[in-house]
Amino acid sequence: MEYRKLGKTGLEVGVIGLGTEHLEKKRETLDEVLRLGVEAGVNYVDLLYIEPEYWEAFGSVYRSYRDDLAVAAHWGSGPCHELEFSRNCFEGILSHLGNGYAEIGLMTMAIESDETWNGWAQEATEHLQRYKEQGRIGAIGTSGHNAKIAIKAVESGQIDVLMFGINMLNQDDAEIEALCQACVAHEVGLVAMKPYHGGTLLSVGGEPSGITPAQCLAYVFSLPVSAAVPGPRTVSEWQATLRYLEATDAERDYRPVIGDLHGYLEGQCTYCDHCLPCPEGIAIGWMIWLVDRARVGVTDEVRGWYAEHQVKATACVACGECLERCPFGVNIIAKMQEAVALFESD
């Protein structure tokens, strides 16, 4: 395992970290994933789930590996940033970790908009700063998807760690390049989430794309990131990630993929939104993301996300404008029909 400095935190972290968002909620799965990771030298874990019931079920598993891990404990969650909720959950995480301490207190999705960063995030930072002064966290971090706001956060001097989506699909993105440079200049540890772009880099229509985890990770590690945090669902997916450590230089070589990315991903939506604007106002990328997510299972949560959109997939009139714009040859009209069948049929 290669280790890199996590910005100015003083921590040295393995380049492969663990994201827990999609991990099967089974004790045996978590235990085996942590065991394999620690044996391979993984020492950075992003702890997304903050709910008390999660920690009641899995806190003891994390505690058994605690001495080997640097953890990022989340403050706030996607659906709720309310102060009292965030504080109570954060206290619960610290107590379940066993030593009342987390290496990083990480604000969840605090850089999605100027409003969030200038409002809720500032309030959260004040509270996390008190935890830091009390010696209950070592550093303050944040996560999100908006590069412009992320750069502001990095340049503000208020954060020590940034978790942001970085993968091959944003190879030519000037904002991502600027973000990487800002993190280096301000000694902010950059943790790359979504190195496989939610798995879309690895498969097309349920079949392997020809792109490997080793190539995806090698690309990310060519950038000034401290670690990547793939989010496996199963032990076998985690093992596929860890095989990077034994991969040869030839197996890690991502240059052929970069040279023909569209060829590898023909027919696979990457949610890039190049298909927009839709004349009917459909958020096409989000609709297809929900369809892809539903293939794992149409949960109440996914149905709720679909219901939140004012313009549903039924608004599609098959005009074909999106098809002309899509760089990956996705059959978008068929995807809209699939969304209707999944979410609007009785």
For the chain, domain boundaries: 3-261, 284-343
Judged against a pLDDT cut of 90, whether residue 147 lies above it is answered with yes
For residues 5 and 184, is the Cβ–Cβ distance under 8 A? no
pTM of the model: 0.90
> With b meaning 16 or more CB within 10 Å and e meaning fewer, what string describes 154-171?
beeebbbbbbbbbbbbbe
- Assign 168 a pLDDT band (cuts: 50, 70, 90): very high
Instruction: Note the pLDDT tens digit of each residue in 95-125.
Output: 999 889 999 999 998 888 999 999 989 999 9
pLDDT of residue 79: 66
In 110-194, which ranges are continuous DSSP H helix? 114-118, 120-133, 147-156, 174-185
Q: Give, as one character, the DSSP assignment of residue 243.
A: G
Tell me the mean pLDDT in the region 128-155.
96
Q: Residue 44, Cβ neighbours under 10 Å: how many? A: 29
pLDDT for 344: 86
Give the tens place of pLDDT for each residue, 16-61. Answer: 999 999 999 999 999 999 999 999 999 999 999 999 999 999 999 9
CATH 3.10.20.30 fits 3-261, yes or no: no
Among candidates 157, 83, 155, 143, which has minimal Cα distance to 119?
A: 83
Average pLDDT (139-150) is 95
Residue 151 corresponds to which tokens in the numbers above? Answer: 């750069």
Helices 27-40 + 52-64 axis angle, to 10: 40
